[in-house]
Amino acid sequence: MEILAYGVQSDERPLLDAAMERHQLRMLDVFLTADTAPLAAGFPVVSSSVNDALDSEVLTLLAEGGTQLIAQRSTGFNNIDLNAAAKLGLTVARVSYYSPYSVAEHAWTLALAVNRRLIRSVNRSREFDFRLDGLMGRDIHGLTVGVLGTGKIGECFARIAAGFGTTLLGWDVAPNPECEALGMRYVGKDELLADSDLVSLHVPLLDSTHHVIDRAALALMKDDAILVNSSRGGLIDASALVETLRAGRLAGVGLDVYEEEADVFFTDRSAQGITDDVLARLISFPQVLVTSHQAYFTRTAVGQIIDATARNIDDFALGRTNENTLVPAG
């Protein structure tokens, strides 16, 4: 089949080439928007990335151009208007599973980096400033770690936390027995936020979890707590987080996602800068570390994502659905 893949990172190209060798594949590094959707005319399959914008307008343009399948290369699909896709007769598939270790390990990378002030330390050493002033962190051993969302990724994060020798608190719609076996105690969200020294977010972005960390939630957290988000940007009210940091609260914040990241992340803005004042302010705080939605970006995880995407396309070509199908053929 003829496939047009949008938002392809350079490291993805050889993996996509190998997985799609039986198809005719064209790869673009630009994102899918209303302006770039016409490029897909004549391609029955479009493969999208998590920061592509597949709203009703874009989906209509794709359908008019002959696209039949949207094969998203991610687990999240909040960027796709599924109702519009169904009305247009478009099939939509995603990747329901890839290595949870990739995200959990990156979440801990962020937590450890902000705790031990690694970015400030590295910047200093590049200027041959080897003072220790302002670099003191804390032992993770003995801290209380709160995990919001204890699915596959949250469980992996909790296993790493248990290895450090922490007290584990969890919050979810239902307890995970594997986490309970690690000694995790499930509590209400307010209790978790108030008692935790480190809070990591691993819940999906739903109406019920949008801004689950809002101004009131931030007020409950300890002044010296660490907050990490490697799930979805919309889980945190970024403006409220800026206010909290300006008040001198929170010892560290590690963000791999941001609620308005779509027009910024995965792009080079080094020459022109960014116009998002909230993101610029967050990055300016010395205790904040922002990475560009790269938690999933390991060879293992990306390989699994691409293999699953190839299977979704093969199944569609054979008239089959699978566990990754969000909208079946109309």
- Please identify which residue in the block is written with the tokens 């969200």: 189
pLDDT score recorded for residue 76: 86
**pLDDT for the residue numbered 78:** 86
Let me know if the fold of 2-98+298-327 is the same as that of 100-290. yes
Question: Which residues are part of the catalytic machinery?
Answer: 232, 261, 293
Q: Average the pLDDT over 60-69 and give the result.
A: 98
Letter string b/e over residues 270-279, b meaning 16 or more CB atoms within 10 A of that residue's CB: eeeeeebeeb
- What pLDDT digit, counting tens, does each position of 170-193 carry? 999 999 999 999 999 999 999 999
- Judged against a pLDDT cut of 80, whether residue 151 lies above it is answered with yes
Apex 11 CA angle, 6 and 12, nearest 5: 45
Pairing of strands 91-93, 325-327: antiparallel
pLDDT value at residue 210: 97
- CA 299 – CA 288 distance, rounded (Å): 27
**pTM of the entire structure?**
0.92
For tokens 């499930």, name the residue: 186
Q: Top-level CATH class of 2-98+298-327?
A: alpha beta
HEC string for 291-316: CCCCCCCCHHHHHHHHHHHHHHHHHH
- Judged against a pLDDT cut of 90, whether residue 320 lies above it is answered with yes
- Looking at the DSSP bridge assignments, the partners of residue 236 are 213
* Average pLDDT rounded to a whole number, residues 140-145: 98
Over residues 278-292, the pLDDT tens digits come to 999 999 999 999 999
- The ranges assigned to domains in the chain are 2-98+298-327, 100-290
Q: What are phi and psi of 151, to 5 degrees?
A: -80, -150
Burial class (CB in 10 A: 0-12, 13-18, 19+), 299: exposed
Percent of the chain whose predicted confidence (pLDDT) is above 70: 100
pLDDT at residue number 329: 85
CATH of 100-290, one of 3.40.50.720, 3.30.70.2660, 3.50.50.60, 3.30.1330.10: 3.40.50.720
The answer to whether 172 touches 146, Cβ cutoff 8 Å, is no
**CA–CA distance, 88 with 23 (Å, rounded to integer):** 25
* pLDDT in the model for residue 277: 96
Q: Which residue in 163, 219, 228, 169 sits closest to 195, CA to CA? A: 169
